[in-house]
Structure formats: C-alpha cells, structure tokens
Structure 1
Amino acid sequence: MFSFLKPDPIKKLRKEYDVKLEQGMQAQRKGDIKSFAMLSAEAEKIWSEIETLEAKKAK
C-alpha cells in the first residue's frame, strides 16, 4: 500500500558505488595505487550486490 515510502536499496547502493568510484579516481590521480585497488574492489562488490537485487526485482 505504501510501497512508495520504502527506501529503494538499489538506489542507495548505486549512490555508494558512485562514491567509491569517485574516491578511487581521486586516489589514482594522487598516485595511491594501493587505495585505488581497494576502492575498486569495494565498488565491484557493491556492483555485484546491485546486479543481484536487480535480478530479483525483475522476476
């Protein structure tokens, strides 16, 4: 009934994903490749969660 009031977990994860990518880009520009690799790995994990949720939502 009030499903429009429930927060969308996919939207939240996409925002986190974008933040991680931005942080990774900034780390890469500064020459901190170790942090870039860690942030990229975290972003990939978030992206896999997004894909899982979207697959469940599509069914």
Structure 2
Amino acid sequence: MFGLFKKKTELEKLQDSYKEMLEKAHKISHSNRTLADKMAAEAEEIAKKIDLLKKKA
C-alpha cells in the first residue's frame, strides 16, 4: 500500500523500456526484419545504460 505512490527510479524506467522494446521487436520481426533489427539495436543501447547505472550503485 505504501508503494502505491512511489515513483520509479531511472533504473526501473530503463528496465521497463528495454523489456517493451524487445517485445515490440519480436512481434515486428515476423513481418519487417529490418525494423525489428533497428529496434533490437535500440534495446541494446538501453541495456548499456542499465549496466552503467548498476555499476554506479
């Protein structure tokens, strides 16, 4: 109940974004492989940011 109004940290936001991007890339990969590859590359950039944040903590 107390976590109801808790704001997400930058790390949590990036993790959510990463997961969402990978899911979209997977769905699109069945019809447009080029776009899916671009989305996967963007997801990898987000993963690098996540790693940097984890190393700082």
TM-score by length of structure 2 reads: 0.83
- Offset at residue 7 of structure 1 (A): 3.4
Whole-Å separation in 2 of the counterparts to 1:19 and 1:6: 19
Whole-Å separation in 1 of the counterparts to 2:23 and 2:38: 13
RMSD of the alignment, in Å?
1.2
What percentage of residue pairs aligned between the two structures are identical? 27
Match of 2:38 in 1: 38
Match of 1:29 in 2: 30
The amino acid that maps onto 1:37 is D
**Number of equivalences:** 52
The 4+ residue runs of structure 1 with deviation greater than 6 A are none
TM-score by length of structure 1 reads: 0.81
- Offset at residue 14 of structure 1 (A): 0.4
**Alpha-carbon deviations, 1:12-47, whole Å to 9, x = none?**
0000001100110011122x0111110000000000
Counterpart secondary structure, 1:49: helix
